[in-house]
Amino acid sequence: DVKVTQSSRYLVKRTGEKVFLECVQDMDHENMFWYRQDPGLGLRLIYFSYDVKMKEKGDIPEGYSVSREKKERFSLILESASTNQTSMYLCASRASGSRADTQYFGPGTRLTVL
């Protein structure tokens, strides 16, 4: 079974703090993704990576950055957290670039910024 794990299920941070969200997958997948999920807005793509050290902006990259130094790990960074970044953050991974491949999701990190 594919496993995507995220470092924390719940996180509470203060405005202005630097926040790191970590994601690890164990299936040697090339592609990894970060989404945020908000009620009534569905899932919105923040960043994705199709290879080590490669990254591409998604639909809402402002206020976020990412890092992928190793194939299995994809980190989302909030340089200076703000209250409007309070959300559920989902990491996902997918094997190759085949358009039919399934995307597998982690359990999510619920981040609250006070």
Minimum distance of other proteins from residue 98's CB (angstroms):
8
- Those residues whose C-beta lies under 8 Å from the C-beta of residue 68, and which sit 6 or more positions away, are 32, 49, 51, 52, 53, 54, 55, 74, 75
Minimum distance of other proteins from residue 107's CB (angstroms):
5
**What CA–CA distance (Å, rounded) separates 73 from 98?**
21
Minimum distance of other proteins from residue 81's CB (angstroms):
24
Tell me which residue of 105, 91, 114, 110 sits closest to 10, measured CA to CA.
110
- The residues in 30-69 that bind other proteins, with binding defined as CB under 8 A, are 30-31, 33, 35, 40-45, 48, 50, 54, 56, 58
Give the residues lining the site for other proteins (CB under 8 A). Answer: 4, 30-31, 33, 35, 40-45, 48, 50, 54, 56, 58, 90, 92, 97-103, 105-108
